[in-house]
């Protein structure tokens, strides 16, 4: 166990040295690209020779770093071989692909085709809070294999650039639209037996006018208005009822919760406990009176 830990530590140090060497090599490669740009716009002369000498030195540095990296990688390979290998997974006892029913089900399942959107399509896009909102595609960015969409959210009037996996088509309508009802075609009356009457109903034109004339012949009822004596009598009864009232009158009592309206009165209810007392006034203590009482007590 200790040997394995030491081997892992050596591998970690070697990988760290490889990363440092690769970083230095990339810096020299950037320097070479800058020197090439300068040489491209420079004519023949002494300065050009100096720039070419600098370029050769940079190339030598890149070659040296590559050699160092190769040496580290040569040390890394045997150390990794000493580590215990992960056990190979055991073969499954049952292969579902060989089962006839499962194989047919797997053959029927077709992979979902990626949905391709165009500019102006309505869709649902995912906002930064990972919720889906209705949006409209403004433009298509990125490549054909990994497109990006610039969408504008309809309800919030905000724009956002999202990946293809954060855009989906609008959900289909859940409720089915009602089909237009067909106009009923006129049906012709058919008779299967001679006992069924299929002709139109016969109406007696003289029946309705006779009923109307009978209603006109009846005498109208006259609404009788009472005379003045009856009206005065009913008004007098109503006034007597208002003056007497219903039931026996109850004598009004004074409330036991009534308090005095004078200044300094206390709140309480009367008829129970000790009565209200006066507030003691503050006054100076009379020491002379006590001295006189003491003298009288001596004699």
Bigger pLDDT: 248 vs 240: 240
Bigger pLDDT: 172 vs 123: 123
Predicted local distance difference test score (pLDDT) of residue 54: 86
Predicted local distance difference test score (pLDDT) of residue 155: 86
pTM for this model (two decimals): 0.31
pLDDT per residue over 1-42, tens digit each? 568 888 888 889 989 998 999 899 889 888 888 888 888 777
pLDDT per residue over 98-129, tens digit each? 666 766 666 655 556 678 888 889 999 999 88
Residues paired with residue 136 on neighbouring β-strands, in sequence order: 122, 152
Residues 6+ away with beta carbon under 8 Å from 8: 83
pLDDT per residue over 70-97, tens digit each? 998 888 888 888 877 777 776 666 666 6
| DSSP assignments along 152-213, one per residue | EETTT--EEEEEGGGEEEPPPPSSPPPPPPPPPPPPPP--SSTTS--SPPP--TTHHHHHHH
Bigger pLDDT: 134 vs 261: 134
Predicted local distance difference test score (pLDDT) of residue 5: 85
Residue 299 pLDDT class (50, 70, 90 cuts): low
Residues 6+ away with beta carbon under 8 Å from 96: 102, 103, 106
Predicted local distance difference test score (pLDDT) of residue 123: 93
Domain limits of the chain? Answer: 2-82, 122-169
* Span 122-169 CATH architecture: Roll (2.30)
Tokens of 179: 């089909």
Predicted local distance difference test score (pLDDT) of residue 193: 52
pLDDT per residue over 49-77, tens digit each? 888 888 888 889 989 989 999 998 888 88
Provide the mean pLDDT of the chain: 75
Interior angle at CA 95, CA 90 and CA 97, nearest 5: 140
């Amino acid at each position: 166990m200790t040997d394995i830990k030491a081997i892992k530590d050596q591998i970690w140090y070697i990988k760290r040295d490889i990363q440092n060497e690769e970083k230095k090599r990339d810096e020299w490669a950037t320097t070479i690209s800058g020197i090439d740009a300068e040489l491209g716009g420079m004519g023949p002369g002494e300065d050009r020779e100096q720039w070419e000498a600098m370029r050769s030195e940079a190339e030598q540095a890149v070659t040296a770093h590559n050699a160092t990296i190769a040496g580290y990688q040569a040390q890394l390979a045997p150390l990794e071989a000493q580590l215990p290998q992960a056990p190979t997974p055991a073969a499954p006892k049952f292969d579902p692909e060989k089962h006839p029913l499962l194989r047919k089900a797997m053959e029927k399942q077709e992979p979902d085709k990626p949905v391709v959107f165009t500019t102006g399509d309505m869709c649902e896009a995912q906002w930064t809070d990972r919720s889906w909102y209705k949006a409209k595609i403004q433009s298509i960015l990125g490549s054909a294999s990994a497109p990006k969409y610039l969408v504008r959210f309809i309800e919030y009037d905000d724009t956002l650039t999202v990946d293809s996996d954060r855009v989906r088509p609008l959900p289909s309508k859940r409720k089915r639209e009602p089909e237009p009802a067909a106009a009923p075609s006129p049906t012709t009356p058919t008779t299967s037996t001679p006992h069924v009457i299929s002709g139109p109903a016969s109406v007696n034109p003289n029946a309705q006018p006779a009923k109307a004339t009978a209603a006109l012949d009846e005498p109208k009822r006259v609404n009788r208005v009472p005379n003045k004596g009856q009206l005065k009598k009913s008004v007098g009864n109503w006034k007597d009822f208002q003056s007497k009232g219903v039931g026996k009158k109850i004598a009004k009592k004074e409330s036991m919760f009534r308090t005095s309206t004078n200044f300094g009165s206390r709140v309480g209810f009367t008829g129970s406990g000790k009565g209200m007392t006066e507030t003691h006034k503050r006054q100076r203590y009379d020491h002379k009176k006590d001295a006189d009482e003491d003298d009288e007590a001596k004699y």
